[in-house]
Amino acid sequence: MSSLADKASIVGIGATDFSKDSGRSELRLAAEAVRAAVADAGLQPSDVDGLVSFTMDTNTEVAVARAAGIGSLNFFSRIHYGGGAACATVQQAAMAVATGVAEVVVCYRAFNERSGMRFGQVNSALVHQVNSSGTDNAFSYPHGLSTPAGFVAMVAQRYMHEYGATSEDFGRVAVVDRKHAAVNPAAFFHGKPITLEEHQTSRYIAEPLHLLDCCQESDGGQAIVVTTPERARDLPHTPVSIAAAASGSGPDQYIMTSYYRPELAGLPEMGIVGDQLWNQSGLRPEDMDMAVLYDHFTPYVLMQLEELGFCGRGEAKDFVRESGALEVGGRLPLNTHGGQLGEAYIHGMNGIAEGVRQLRGDSVNQVPGAEKLVVTAGTGVPTSGLVLTV
């Protein structure tokens, strides 16, 4: 067993206001989130000596360091593949801390896609990539397969055909996310739960995906502080141990268009990451008190339940149909912050923060006695995950 649990801890989380359009630059949002996370950890910006971000972030680490008041850096890194990078940022931070390269590393992501660039629209730049994904997109875009919702709809249709899942099964994920978001003051959809009927009558975006199957386009930033367990003992919050951290890609992996595999109705890259998480941590799905699963589109939540071993292949539809299964007090409380459908779409970084809150015991939808949980990152792309414990 190769565990990071005794080598790196999460000690701080910080975010901007997700509840409205900010109109602020991504640099300002990132700096605000970083400063908030460092303050939450009981540290000063001058204590930070490492930064990890996403390659898709519009700001370099040195620009964020200047804006946040951070001095010299011993370590910085950028992770690829959009939302798939979320948990991998913490993985890289933990490795930097565990190996002594840096002592306090902050991971961050910032968006102004609600008031700025609309992230879910057609992105013609993807056609011009000089690689196999660019070639694939150059063929499919003229035929209308050109948005994230469209990419996911193809796999969702196959999943429904293979296993008998329905649009209502996908809708159950959206309903529970919005139920949790409704009591979360930080959520964009605070006070706005939905019913399954409302989900079913919302307009189609790309059949079988309704509007309410699709995550938001959000303004906001989220940051996570990682340091050594020794330093963590002197800080104000209960340290959250990184019991496992993994990242990986599947066979014949494309970027949300992996349609050339023999098996289309699944997410094998999440299965690869899940195997690493359980092997590293020595824990199993049945040991988890809850889960934060990447929910940019609802069908991929059902597939993750299967890939991670919470249920068998094709059985997630039955899992989510069980009354209250995904709510606090249920079989597997899910996305208690409201997820990316209910709280905000910050490429999954806000899901990691919710995992930390749960283990500290201060979530707005607290799972009683939560001590172990799994968090996943973007699906349909090379992906990553964490097992967090106290």
**pLDDT tens digits for 107-123?**
999 988 765 566 666 77
Does a cis peptide bond (omega within 30 degrees of 0) precede residue 208?
Answer: yes
Taking each helix axis as running N to C, give the angle between helix 61-68 and helix 26-40, from 0 to 180 degrees, rounded to the nearest 10: 60
Average pLDDT of the chain, as a whole number: 93
- Domain assignment present for 173: no
270 within a domain of the structure (yes/no):
yes
Measured between alpha carbons, how far is 341 from 329 in angstroms, rounded to an integer?
Answer: 21
Tokens 């792309």 belong to which residue?
381
> What pLDDT is attached to residue 329?
96
* Nearest alpha carbon to residue 349 among 83, 49, 43, 63: 83
| Terminal Cα-to-Cα distance of the chain (whole angstroms) | 18
pLDDT at 118: 62
Cβ within 8 Å of residue 351, ≥6 positions away: 86, 292, 293, 294, 335, 337, 339, 340, 375, 376
204-206 and 209-210 strand pairing: antiparallel
The total of structural domains in the chain comes to 1
Please give the pLDDT value at position 116: 59
Catalytic residue at 345? yes
pLDDT of residue 120: 62
pLDDT of residue 1: 41
Residue 204: inside a domain, yes or no?
no
Residue 87 lies in a domain: yes
Q: Residue 144: what pLDDT? A: 84
Q: Is residue 123 part of a domain?
A: no
Block residue for tokens 């899910």: 334
* Parallel/antiparallel/unpaired status of strands 209-210 and 104-112: unpaired
Q: Which of 81, 254, 294, 300 is the catalytic position?
A: 294
Which of 117, 6, 128 is CA-nearest to residue 56?
117
Residue 314: which domain range? 9-116+216-389
Structure confidence at residue 59 (pLDDT): 87
Q: What pLDDT sits at residue 255?
A: 86
How much is the pLDDT for 66? 97
Residues 21-54: b if buried by 16+ CB within 10 A, e if exposed: ebebebbbbbbbbbbbbbebbebebebbbbbbbb
- For 152, the 3-state DSSP assignment is helix
Question: Which regions of the chain are under pLDDT 70?
Answer: 1-3, 114-121
Determine, yes or no, domain membership for 34: yes
Report if residue 128 sits inside a domain.
Answer: no
In a domain, 20, yes or no: yes
Q: What CATH number is associated with residue 73?
A: 3.40.47.10
Tokens coding 388: 């967090």
**Is the separation of the CB atoms in 371 and 388 below 8 Å?**
no
141 part of the active site: no
